[in-house]
Every structure is written in structure tokens, then in C-alpha cells.
Structure 1
Amino acid sequence: MRRTTFAEAPCPVARSLDQIGDWWSLLIIRDALDGVRRFSEFQKSLGLARNILSTRLAKLVSHGILRSQPASDGSAYQEYVLTEKGESLRLVIQALHQWGGDFLFTEDEQPPPLVEKVTGERVARLELTRSDGRVLHPGEVTVLKPRPASDS
């Protein structure tokens, strides 16, 4: 069965999911954000079958989220490095981290906190804010849908 594509969808969420919409891809991006670069490191971290990992990495490269380059140590291996497009997914991964920490851990569990690399200080919660800085409840935000062209 051929997968539906959302590459031309009018919704940014649908277009985003077209490129990164499966959990393996998001976990690969998470690991890349944490510094994982080699195929074997991704495989060890994720426990993913080689063929699935190879397919997901190729897809992320083809979409410009990762790029493949010769290993930095001069060996014959290739490394996968986040592009600017891939690095900008950090906010998405951190939002999922925050949401999972809020709703998917028991009272006895402590999700690992998000901290600043240099200082180790906790990062402030991600929140929706107005242009004047006022924090908005998620229910106060909507997407402005484009109006259909009129038939004149």
C-alpha cells in the first residue's frame, strides 16, 4: 500500500509530518541533537533494524534534515549531521519532551529535566505568548485559515 503524501497540503502540520511523521525519524533526530552521528551509534541507541534505520536516514537526508558527510576522524565511515533545518527541530523535540514529562510519567517517576548545556540550569517551560509577552492558554490560539478565492 502506498503512503499518502501531504507535501502539497495547505496545512504546515501536515507538510511537516510528511517529512518527519514517524516515531523512528523523530527519535533519530532526538539522538542527532544529542550528538549521535554514525549509523552504528543510531542503531545501538535505538535498537532499530538496519534496513529501517537506513531507510529513515536516507529520507531525512533527502528532505534536507540531515546531511551525510565523511567521518570527522578521517575513517572510511560516514556521519549524519543535522542541517539548519534539522537543528531547528530542537524546539519540536523539546516540546514533545515537555508534554511527555507532564502527562506520561507517574507521580513516582521524575522525567529528566531540560537544562542549559553550559550552566546546567533548568530551561523555562515552552509557552505560547502574544507579541507583547503575555502567556496564552493553548485554547486562546487558533490557526487563521485562508479564505477561499471568490468566484467573480
Structure 2
Amino acid sequence: MDPNQYHQIYQYLHQQILPTFNTSREKQKFINLCNNFELKLNYLYKKNKRKNGQLLKVIRNFELEPLLYMMHNDPTAAHFAVDTMFNKIKDRYYWPQMYENIREYVRSCDSCQRRGKSKANQLLHPIAVHGPFYQVGIDFVGPLPITP
């Protein structure tokens, strides 16, 4: 989130300090915007309208790169694709243009570019079974070295 906007919302929620506005309409618009946010332990959270007001941590610009790295490049992250990564992040964090930032990050990932998209599996063609032992498969291995 833009540092100025973050600071303005934080100041309003923390100390009820409003920035200067040209019109009362702009002022009311800002207050309505602030109603979507909440302060908790000096961090700014956005209320998630989709999940009964669940709080989403607001990510500032300097926190964005480490977060994307952790959610994509970390050994536990598995280099997920854009949609998977977005769905993983949107339930815990918020920042404007989230999807676009994630898409750009994944597209610029060197490891993902080298590996490319995974190929879709081909359709399976099951073998019709007419009865027990209708068809038997055997794997041959050998010759094997003699062990002492």
C-alpha cells in the first residue's frame, strides 16, 4: 500500500487525525474508507467483507518483496502458479493491485521460466477386464549379478 495512504489511515484510526480535504465529500469518502480498516497491535488490518470481517494484514510497499519471496520461492512454497498463489495470499493479506503484483512476480521468477508450464496428463485408456486372470502382465529384469 502507498506509504502516504497507509499513514493517513493509520493516523485517523489511531488518533482521529484527518488529513486536509478540499470538500466535505472527499472527507466523507476518506472516513468511509477508514471504516474498512482496523488497528490491532499497531498494525493496520483490512476487514474482509467476504469472510465475516476476518482481518487481513495490510502490506506496505517495503514488505511486499519479502512476502512474495516467502510465498513463492521459499522451499515450503513450491513455486505455485499465479492463481494458486493469489488464492493462498488473499485470505491473509491485503494490498492494492494484489493480483497484478503476484502475476508479475511469478512471470519474472527465473526458476519458473526455466521449468515452464507442466504438461497436462494424457487421458487414461482402461483395459476392459472380462474375468479373473483374463490378462496377466509380467515385468522381466535381468540378468542380475550374483551376490556373494
TM-score range, shorter-chain basis? Answer: under 0.3
| Larger relative contact order (CA 8 Å, sep ≥ 6) | 2
Which structure: larger Rg?
2
Query: TM-score, normalized by length of structure 2?
Result: 0.24
Query: TM-score, normalized by length of structure 1?
Result: 0.24
